[in-house]
Amino acid sequence: MSSGKAIRTTQANTSPGMIDLAIGHPSPSLLPVELIRRAAEQRLATDFTPYLQYGYEPGDGHFRTALADFLTRHYARQTRESELFVSGGASQALDLFCTVCTKPGDTVFVEEPTYFLALRIFQDHRLRIVGLPTDEGGLIIEALEERLDSLRPVFLYTVPTHQNPSGASLPSDRRRRLVELSREKDFLIVADEVYHLLTYGEKAPPALASFLGEGTVLSLGSFSKILAPGLRLGWVQASPRLLRPLAECGMLDSGGGLNPFTSSLVLSAIQSGMLDAHLERLRGEYGRRLQAMKAAIDDCLAGKVEFSPPGGGFFFWLRLSDGRDSATLVEAAKRHKTSFVPGAAFSAGGGLRDRLRLSFSYHPPEALQEGVRRLAKGLS
Ligand SMILES: Cc1ncc(COP(=O)(O)O)c(C=O)c1O
């Protein structure tokens, strides 16, 4: 019997007529239904049995070999299968890393701003979260050095390329210095590189995965943004020594390697070239959306906000020129049938109140422009 309540399937809950610029999910129109159908047909036509069995703990070897080849091409660095661990997405990898490598009360350094839902995961693990200042080039290395004089984190969490929310990309020289510091001062770097392949303009600096040889870097990747979040599939790239505790944890001893079934479909997508073709399509379309949103902000919000346009990823990060607390404007935006995420969500210490995040991934270009027009009315 129906209760009359809508049955929910997806995480984002949009109401009719709303252009919600808070939603940072991939566009529904870019979810690769046909690609998944063809990958599944190819896979089911072969010997499928191993992929329905408990999987090898670090992840299926055929899949990791194909992924190593994919990353060798796209990250321009020779990647080996032994440097890859298959995860259920970047969030799951982060949670598993915290489970095996931290204890309550340990310190984690994060960027200020940082990916807000990573903060939730660190809170679940009762970590002490310390925010470090950033500028338009991401983490300020001198500020990190100063903090390291009095405090030593177990790890530093960074989104080095097209950051969520700021869009900033850490320049090469800062990446190098960050890795040097991690060796000198003995802490790990967990680099969340889920946007690295979504670069639409100038080439991004080398992924932090390029520094694996230094032995302090774990790079998280995900198929959520480049294929579909519903696959719940990603990877951790690190030296075999750093990956071992993840693969040897009790959860995998009991349940086997993560997502062998989904891995087998993505294996087909990589081997057939469908993933490369899809990535090209995404870069083109998201690049157009970025430009559409930038043009709308320039037109409708000139003088009201300041920002540096991103070179990839999903987000614009705006500062309100009049210094207002953006959280106080959410209701006004909603009255005009749009929304955004207030800046304080991205702060470990409740700061960044004059900032707000807009996403350009979810809606098509015309809707983004209309959303920004509505926002301008809400902010006036
Ligand atoms: C920086 C960052 N990391 C991780 C995630 C979630 O990734 P996954 O779906 O692989 O868990 C997101 C999604 O918005 C993100 O922006």
Ligand 1 center–CA 323 separation, angstroms: 29
Is the distance from the beta carbon of residue 166 to the nearest atom of ligand 1 less than 6 Å?
Answer: no
CA distances from 315 to 2, 24, 188, 360 (A): 39, 8, 27, 6
Is the distance from the beta carbon of residue 167 to the nearest atom of ligand 1 less than 6 Å?
Answer: no
Residue nearest to atom 14 of ligand 1 (CA): 24
DSSP of 95-142, one letter per residue? HHHHHHH--TT-EEEEEES--HHHHHHHHHTTPEEEEEEEETTEE-HH
**Averaged pLDDT for residues 284-304:** 97
Is the distance from the beta carbon of residue 161 to the nearest atom of ligand 1 less than 6 Å?
Answer: no
Ligand 1 center–CA 311 separation, angstroms: 18
Q: What angle do CA 269, 275, 281 make, to 5 degrees?
A: 145
User: Among positive and negative, which fits the CA dihedral 263, 269, 272, 276?
Assistant: negative
- Of 119, 157, 222, 357, which is best to mutate to test ligand 1, by the most ligand atoms within 8 angstroms of its C-beta? 222
| The ligand 1 atom nearest the CA atom of 163 | 1
Residue 3 has pLDDT above 70, yes or no: no
**pLDDT band at residue 193 using 50, 70 and 90 as cut-offs:** very high
Read off the tokens for 230.
């519903």
pLDDT in tens, 8-58: 888 888 888 999 999 999 999 999 999 999 999 999 998 778 899 999 999
pLDDT above 70 coverage of the chain, percent: 99
When the pLDDT of each residue in the chain is averaged and rounded to a whole number, the result is 96
Ligand 1 center–CA 194 separation, angstroms: 6
Separation CA 369–CA 143 (nearest Å): 37
Residue ranges in the chain assigned as alpha helix (H): 33-44, 61-74, 90-101, 116-124, 141-148, 172-185, 240-247, 250-255, 260-271, 274-300, 330-335, 365-379
- Strand, coil or helix: what is 301? coil
Question: What does the pLDDT read at residue 16?
Answer: 84
Question: What does the pLDDT read at residue 1?
Answer: 47
Read off the tokens for 72.
């060798």
pLDDT in tens, 234-260: 999 999 999 999 999 999 999 999 999
**Averaged pLDDT for residues 59-74:** 97
Answer whether 152's CB lies under 8 Å from 107's CB. Answer: yes
Ligand 1 center–CA 150 separation, angstroms: 31
Ligand 1 center–CA 25 separation, angstroms: 9
**Averaged pLDDT for residues 47-70:** 94
| The ligand 1 atom nearest the CA atom of 92 | 11
Q: Which of 225, 189, 237 is nearest to 93 (CA)?
A: 237
In the chain, the amino acid numbered 192 is D
pLDDT in tens, 314-359: 999 999 999 999 999 999 999 999 999 999 999 999 999 999 999 9
Read off the tokens for 305.
């906000």
Ligand 1 center–CA 377 separation, angstroms: 31
Residue 2 has pLDDT above 70, yes or no: no
CA distances from 275 to 40, 270, 340 (A): 14, 5, 31
Is the distance from the beta carbon of residue 229 to the nearest atom of ligand 1 less than 6 Å?
Answer: yes
321: left (phi over 0), alpha (psi -120 to 50) or beta: alpha
Question: What does the pLDDT read at residue 15?
Answer: 84
Is the distance from the beta carbon of residue 259 to the nearest atom of ligand 1 less than 6 Å?
Answer: no
β-strand 155-158 against 341-342: which pairing, if any?
Answer: unpaired
Is the distance from the beta carbon of residue 234 to the nearest atom of ligand 1 less than 6 Å?
Answer: yes
Question: What does the pLDDT read at residue 4?
Answer: 63
pTM over 0.75? The answer is: yes
Question: What does the pLDDT read at residue 375?
Answer: 97
Is the distance from the beta carbon of residue 164 to the nearest atom of ligand 1 less than 6 Å?
Answer: yes
Residue 152's CB: how many other CB atoms inside 10 A? Answer: 13
